[in-house]
């Protein structure tokens, strides 16, 4: 069995709008695969199809060889596929610890009810989860913020909480939709470190990111989308040298400014 998360020939149609057409991408454990393309090229839509938030019009999603097309998001989380959102979706009033614990609970079937009822077995389970949450928060540098309300954190910290929640849910594949957006350079460098650490732990990462400098610093492979189709796939260098990609995406002034802005990340890399 091939260990990988794979989307094959995905088509997504919204009425008359074809957002994705024959789009394919794959990521293996321990690898970082970047997904780039202009605004509206279909990146988030592909993530939504892979993580069960949208049912693709056609195509197939597999996790380690098992067909999971059309599975609900919570079922995919149990299968090891978790994600973050372009706009973070966390309860801003909960604490960092509660948000991470919620990630653990998402994988338990009856545990949460037992915990509510205060059963002795549930209490030891609760302790085990709290320890695991503390360990995870420590790994991501969030432990000093465990009791803080998420609404009071910086965007960089909120995005790390989202990553922690994916890991708490036992994700083997993590999809990050523009995790560096709105982050300071220092936070970007920290996030880049954490993404590398995920891969070093054997997690497969799919990463949507506009900043090609960051993509280059992190990714083993890159897929470029253009109006819903895959324009190019390869190493960051190969993709950067692909004339069609330069013309469609990298050649634009905005992209080169992005690249200039990421230099500190590369130095820290």
Ligand X SMILES: Nc1ncnc2c1ncn2[C@@H]1O[C@H](COP(=O)(O)OP(=O)(O)OP(=O)(O)O)[C@@H](O)[C@H]1O
In the complex, which residues of this chain contact ligand X (CB under 6 A)?
A: 14, 17, 19, 37, 39-45, 86
Neighbours of 148 (CB within 10 A): 15
The residues with which 32 forms a beta bridge, in sequence order, are: 205
CA distance 166 to 100: 8
Residue 53 Cβ, how far from Mg ion at the closest point, in Å? 12
Residue 97 Cβ, how far from Mg ion at the closest point, in Å? 29
One symbol per residue from 30 to 49: x for binding Mg ion (CB under 5 A), - otherwise; what is it?
Answer: -------------xx-----
Comparison of 209 and 221: residue with beta carbon closer to Mg ion: 209
Comparison of 40 and 70: residue with beta carbon closer to ligand X: 40
* Residue 203 near residue 3, CB atoms below 8 Å: no
For Mg ion, which stretch binds (CB under 5 A), given 78-86, 149-157, 223-231, 234-242? 78-86
User: In this chain, which residue has its C-beta nearest to Mg ion?
Assistant: 44
Q: Residue 144 binds which entry of ligand X, Mg ion, none, with Cβ cut-offs from 5 to 8 Å by kind?
A: none
Comparison of 2 and 87: residue with beta carbon closer to Mg ion: 87
Q: What do you get for the CA distance between the two ends of the chain, in Å?
A: 34
The answer for residues whose C-beta is within 8 angstroms of residue 150's C-beta and 6 or more apart is: 90, 91, 92, 93, 94, 95, 96, 99, 158, 161
Residue 108 Cβ, how far from ligand X at the closest point, in Å? 31
Comparison of 36 and 81: residue with beta carbon closer to ligand X: 36
* Residue 172 near residue 29, CB atoms below 8 Å: yes
CA distance 149 to 208: 27
Give me the residues that bind Mg ion (CB under 5 A), please: 43-44, 86
């Amino acid at each position: 069995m091939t260990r990988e998360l794979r989307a094959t020939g995905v088509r997504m149609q919204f009425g008359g709008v074809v957002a994705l057409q024959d789009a394919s991408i794959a990521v293996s454990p321990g690898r970082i695969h970047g997904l780039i393309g202009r605004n509206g090229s279909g990146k988030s839509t592909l993530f939504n199809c892979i993580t069960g938030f949208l049912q693709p019009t056609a195509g197939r999603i597999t996790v380690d060889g098992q067909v999971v097309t059309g599975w609900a998001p919570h079922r995919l989380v149990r299968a090891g596929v978790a994600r973050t959102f372009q706009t973070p979706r966390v309860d801003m009033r909960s604490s960092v610890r509660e948000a991470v614990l919620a990630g653990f609970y998402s994988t338990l079937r009856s545990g949460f009810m037992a915990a509510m009822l205060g059963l002795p077995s549930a209490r030891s389970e609760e302790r085990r989860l709290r320890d695991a949450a503390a360990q995870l928060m420590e790994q991501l540098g969030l432990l000093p913020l465990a009791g803080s309300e998420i609404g009071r954190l910086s965007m960089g910290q909120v995005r790390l909480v989202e990553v922690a929640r994916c890991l708490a849910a036992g994700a083997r594949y993590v999809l990050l939709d523009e995790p560096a957006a709105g982050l300071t350079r220092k936070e970007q460098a920290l996030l880049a470190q954490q993404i590398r650490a995920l891969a070093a732990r054997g997690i497969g990462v799919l990463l949507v990111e506009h900043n090609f400098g960051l993509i280059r610093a992190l990714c083993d492979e890159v897929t470029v989308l253009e109006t819903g189709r895959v324009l190019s796939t390869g190493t960051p260098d190969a993709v950067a040298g692909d004339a069609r990609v330069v013309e469609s995406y990298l050649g634009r002034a905005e992209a080169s400014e992005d690249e200039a802005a990421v230099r500190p990340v590369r130095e820290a890399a």
